[in-house]
Amino acid sequence: MESTLEETTESGTPENQIVRAIGIERFYGEGEAEVRALDGVDVTFEKGIYTSIMGPSGSGKSTLMHILAGLDRPTAGTVEIDGVDITGLDDGDLTELRRDKLGFVFQFFNLLPVLTAEENILLPLSIAGKTPDREWVDLVIDRVGLDDRRTHRPSELSGGQQQRVAVARALVTKPAVLFADEPTGNLDSKSSEDVLQLLRAARDEFGQTVIVVTHEPDAAAHGDRLIALRDGHLVHDAPPVSADAVIELLKTLA
């Protein structure tokens, strides 16, 4: 990995681009209290690529992911997902698009405590009123290593197992894009590695587009591509090499 900062704002040909952000700005507050979380970010993501997003605290990385995923709206700019401009959608249509096209994994597992592992995994399909593809459900549950934990409730699962439930829940709808925001932030090193391997498998085995926000060099090194932000600007876009190289990059951003 180059030690100098690089900026590359286009990735892939238009037909291969699944997420496209143009001129993204996100400001909070007004006047002297104004904070520019994102200040003119252009970035695209190809289908079937695992991208890690990094940057110092306050760099705008989580804000960018939330806007890309339709969880927040930009102050200016546009975001397209699978050819749809989501910045022009009303709340109802945006909710429907997120449900149909996106999967989410967060730092906090967000499982419903009264549901079993399998019921939590199937929840997005239940909400959408869709009949589960049992062959796909069984494949996902087996791949995340929870076949013998289907009937366990979250309180009966370890943190790593709960996050694997969250990964399976994100995959069960066959989303166009899987977003993960600090997915290993609450896990020990072994559980973290297990979850990262699952996210990698989502790309390698299922062809998923995976976008992961992380502050952990080991997590970033699992991707095909690493982008980094500083002070609301995209300042690095290149393939990752190793966790040590990612650490050196972060030093240049601090």
State the Cα angle at 46 between 16 and 239, rounded to 5°: 140
Per the domain annotation, does 74 fall within a domain?
A: yes
Cβ atoms of 198 and 164 within 8 Å: the answer is yes
Mean pLDDT of 30-42: 87
Q: What is the number of domains present in the chain?
A: 1
pLDDT (average), residues 33-46: 91
CA–CA dist 64, 82 (Å, integer): 17
pLDDT of residue 40 exceeding 70: yes
Residue 7 domain flag: no
Residue 27 sits at the vertex; the CA angle it makes with 24 and 28, to the nearest 5 degrees, is 150
State which residues form the domain around 170: 14-253
Give the mean pLDDT of 62-67: 93
Q: Is residue 128 part of a domain?
A: yes
The percentage of the chain sitting over the pLDDT mark of 70, rounded to a whole number, equals 94
pTM above 0.95, yes or no: no
CATH code at 169?
A: 3.40.50.300
Measure the CA–CA gap between 210 and 193, rounded to whole angstroms. Answer: 16
Is residue 151 classed exposed, middle or buried when 0-12, 13-18 and 19+ CB atoms within 10 A define those classes?
A: exposed
Q: What is the pLDDT of residues 71-95, one digit of tens each?
A: 999 999 999 999 899 998 999 999 8
2 located within any domain: no
Confidence of residue 8 (pLDDT cuts 50, 70, 90): very low
Check residue 250 and give its pLDDT: 78
- How many whole angstroms separate alpha carbon 199 and alpha carbon 234? 24
pLDDT at position 7: 44
User: In one letter, which amino acid is 115?
Assistant: L
Structure confidence at residue 12 (pLDDT): 54
Is there a contact between 211 and 181 (Cβ–Cβ < 8 Å)?
no
**Structural domain includes residue 175:** yes
Does 8 reside within a domain? no
For the ranges 38-42, 157-161, 188-192, 207-211, the lowest mean pLDDT is seen at: 188-192
Compute the average pLDDT of residues 149-161: 93
Least confident of 3-17, 58-72, 227-241: 3-17
Is residue 20 a part of any domain in this protein? yes
* Residue 129 φ/ψ, nearest 5 degrees: 70, 30
pLDDT band at 13 (very low <50, low <70, confident <90, very high): low
